[in-house]
Structure 1
């Protein structure tokens, strides 16, 4: 088989991670035939999907500026390119959408909100979380009552008993029953 030749690319430019459709000739006989895909000098082989001997799809890497798309196959060797792809970095501003990691649940009493700020934790029972620290059981006592557990709602070691003693020690039984009804409606 002849060496791969890239004759078309769509889109012709994009930031890192752009899904690039590569068209040409002799682009391999199957997925395993593709040994390498370079876009603007960056190895993009791992993201490559072989579609046909005339079409490959890959995601662009962090290459910046204009560059060739070079395909290397086991059946045809290292190829050539008659078109270019332009990689660029987008500037993210306050109005530009971007992907960010957002913690869905913050552990109770930890993190940047726990010291010096008032951070309202939504109580799962719909009741107000007690703010009077003088009535709370000491952490050591809770640890003794519930070994290996904690009152953190997002933890795998969460103990409902710990949570109730920590946040609702003075809450009446009737209020706890109302909280249970609220929780059942919520779930």
Structure 2
């Protein structure tokens, strides 16, 4: 498993501190994230205000400090990362997850950091895809934001509990 990019590992071998194990052959240079939003508006319009669900570990709001959860593994956050990389990956579980948010399902909400609808469930939920990058030191000082994010587009259209289920 030795490659030219891993030669430095050889200098640590005698200390038995690190190894060349890796779950991924490579990590992409572009970070995309699926952001889940809800609204309690009865009708959708250009004026609809969408509120974001916050996850425990994955990037979300630009001003939120990046988290470190080692040695824990936040499974849902990890699944959301894969969903952003490959939309087909999320097909079996994303819709049921969104339906649980529409019910304010307590066990599901415990997997999240913040529920923007603590008193009553949202009427609609949707998922948007964003591209993230770390801000530069100058941007961090100026904007107090750790991330810069740009909307790529819709990921899952707005749905309600009465939205018909499609089958494949």
Tell whether the structures are fold-level matches, with TM greater than 0.5: no
TM-score range, shorter chain: under 0.3
Q: TM-score, normalised by structure 2?
A: 0.20
Q: Which has the larger radius of gyration?
A: 1
Structure with the largest fraction of helix: 2
TM-score by length of 1: 0.19
